[in-house]
Amino acid sequence: MNLKTSKVAPAADADPSAADHTAGAAAFELPKLPYATAALAPVISERTVSIHYTKHQKGYVDKLNALVAGTPLADLPLETLVAKCAGKPELVQIFNNAAQAWNHAFYWQSLSPAGGGSPPASLQSRLQESFGESDAFEKQLIASATKHFGSGWAWLVKDGTHLRILTTANAENPLTKGMTPLLTIDLWEHAYYLDYQNRREDHLKELLAKRINWAFAIDNLDKAP
């Protein structure tokens, strides 16, 4: 999974022996949105996307950079950092911000202004193998994500040879569970509250019907081990 959230590459003329662990050095960057902030409206309003991206996601990236500045952790790729910090109480703050930085970059790519509708045939057949009849995946995802308690994420993952629906709490993600993420939906209230208030299920139905990026799931499935 080649996410844009990544280490800033050193300058071509940088001295490789002089690793920069100085506080304030930019280690991780906020990836650009793959579309304009208004592009998901009316399913997700421009205001929600803008606040979500410029306040919440940027906040996680900025906090992560502050936490790892001056440590060897600042040199790790983001996915490696997430895996390294998972399950370690002394690193939970770094894990939370690193995983949220990764999750949000993956989330925006899981949506598309031209998304939704029925999955393409190649993905539909895989979904039916794992979940049953034509729209069983969508129904099961909406049910799991609606009943998920509190903040977190809903995922379509590849687990071994099967596809599975998973929800995770807070910043947790499938990378730490040996699964390959294919799609995700943000279940934190900041993702939908301005537009849908407490109606999470309505938000999920709209996303699945009109904005979910099936092509991104197919791309991730094609690259999955």
Residues forming contacts to Fe ion in the complex (CB under 5 A) are: 186, 188, 191
Task: Give me the least distance between CB of 121 and Fe ion, in Å please.
Answer: 32
Name the residue nearer to Fe ion (CB basis): 44 or 165: 44
Strand order in the sheet with 152-159: 162-169, 152-159, 180-186
Task: Give me the least distance between CB of 191 and Fe ion, in Å please.
Answer: 5
Name the residue nearer to Fe ion (CB basis): 189 or 219: 189
Work out the number of other CB atoms within 10 angstroms of the CB of residue 205: 16
Any idea which residue has 């809903």 for tokens? Answer: 154
Task: Give me the least distance between CB of 52 and Fe ion, in Å please.
Answer: 6
Name the residue nearer to Fe ion (CB basis): 153 or 216: 153
Work out the number of other CB atoms within 10 angstroms of the CB of residue 55: 10
Cβ atoms 91, 172 nearer than 8 A = no
Name the residue nearer to Fe ion (CB basis): 37 or 126: 37
171 burial (CB, 10 Å; 0-12 / 13-18 / 19+) is: buried
Name the residue nearer to Fe ion (CB basis): 107 or 131: 107
Name the residue nearer to Fe ion (CB basis): 137 or 192: 192
Residue nearest to Fe ion (CB): 186
Q: Which residues lie across from 181 on neighbouring strands?
A: 157
Task: Give me the least distance between CB of 187 and Fe ion, in Å please.
Answer: 9
Task: Give me the least distance between CB of 58 and Fe ion, in Å please.
Answer: 11
Task: Give me the least distance between CB of 107 and Fe ion, in Å please.
Answer: 7
**Neighbouring residues of 128: CB distance < 8 A, sequence distance ≥ 6:** 134, 136, 137
Is 180 in a helix, a strand, or coil?
strand
**What's the chain's Rg over C-alpha atoms?**
18
